[in-house]
């Protein structure tokens, strides 16, 4: 089976073109291919598929084999893949994901996609939409007991669940321990991604992220968008920000006009390969 390794500011996945290849057990394959040293090594597996309602469809599996609704960095990589590999000549591409239909604007230079601007849709903040099992119309500033500590959490869905925590310095946080505990906290029926966000100023945020099913990654596009929404709703930031992550920077906008969140950033090919399976 042929595959391609790509990354969006360090958030790396194995991509399979399902117009040409077939995958019978994507969950199992995601686990095998994602393993460091024994597999390809990645944050998970993304399948690029035909769609009856959009130009393309994307199916995403985390490194633990669990299926996820969305990946903001993965969406950008799909956009670059389908254009650069000749599956489309459009620069406005529709993509169906588990988190709904996404619109991609491909920024092309010298025949190659340089960056991708993605309409991530409207954020959801109602608890049952995130989902998070807490009362009220939103979860903004809820004090959650985790182990021996209390964290002020802000819950947003960008097609997948996010728990945003504002901190003085993300580099001082034990992302693995805290992230794992919150990911699996019983108030999150589908588990959750966890973002640790520093407000540098009203147009500049820094973030580390614990991704549901993958652990800490170098970037998370949906998490960056959810963090912008939480920062705006709590009066910490303006609607246009640069989000600095371990793997690079995303430009984000929460539009007044349509209430949609937009993210723009690069996508990169790493290498092509052939998976021969296990002997």
Cα(171)–Cα(174) distance, integer angstroms: 8
Catalytic choice (71, 77, 155, 225) = 71
Cα(16)–Cα(111) distance, integer angstroms: 22
Of 247, 238, 259, 265, whose CA–CA distance to 211 is shortest?
A: 247
Is 18 in the active site? Answer: no
Is 71 in the active site? Answer: yes
Q: Strand 112-119 and strand 261-265: pairing?
A: antiparallel
Assigned token pair, 136: 């009220």
CB 202, CB 238: distance < 8 Å:
yes
Catalytic choice (77, 163, 220, 225) = 220
In sequence order, what are the beta bridge partners of 5?
14, 271
Q: What angle do helix axes 72-84 and 221-233 make, rounded to 10 degrees?
A: 130
Cα(113)–Cα(106) distance, integer angstroms: 6
Q: How many alpha carbons lie under 13 Å from residue 40 in its C-beta half-sphere?
A: 30
Residues marked as catalytic: 71, 220
């Amino acid at each position: 089976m042929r595959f391609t390794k790509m990354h969006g500011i360090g958030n790396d996945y194995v991509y399979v073109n399902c117009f040409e290849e077939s995958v019978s057990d994507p969950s199992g394959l995601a686990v095998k291919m994602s393993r460091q040293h024994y597999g390809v090594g990645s944050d998970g597996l993304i399948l690029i598929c035909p769609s009856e309602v959009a130009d393309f469809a994307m199916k995403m599996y985390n490194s633990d084999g669990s299926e996820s609704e969305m990946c903001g960095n993965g969406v950008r990589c799909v956009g670059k893949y389908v254009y650069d590999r000749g599956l489309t000549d459009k620069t406005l591409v529709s993509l169906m994901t588990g988190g709904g239909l996404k619109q991609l604007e491909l920024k092309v230079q010298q025949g190659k996609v340089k960056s991708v601007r993605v309409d991530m849709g409207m954020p959801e903040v109602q608890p049952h939409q995130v989902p998070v099992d807490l009362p009220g119309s939103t979860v903004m500033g809820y004090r959650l007991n985790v182990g021996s500590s209390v964290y002020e959490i802000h819950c947003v869905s960008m097609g997948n669940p996010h728990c945003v925590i504002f901190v003085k310095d993300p580099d001082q946080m034990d992302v693995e321990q805290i992230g794992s505990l919150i990911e699996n906290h019983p108030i999150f029926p589908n588990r959750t991604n966890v973002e640790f966000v520093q407000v540098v100023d009203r147009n500049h945020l820094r973030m580390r992220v614990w991704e549901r099913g993958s652990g800490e990654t170098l970037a998370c596009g949906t998490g960056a968008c959810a963090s912008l929404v939480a920062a705006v709703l709590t009066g910490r930031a303006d609607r246009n920000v640069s989000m600095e992550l371990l793997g690079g920077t995303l430009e984000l906008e929460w539009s007044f006009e349509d209430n949609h969140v937009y993210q723009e950033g690069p996508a990169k090919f790493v290498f092509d390969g052939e998976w021969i399976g296990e002997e």
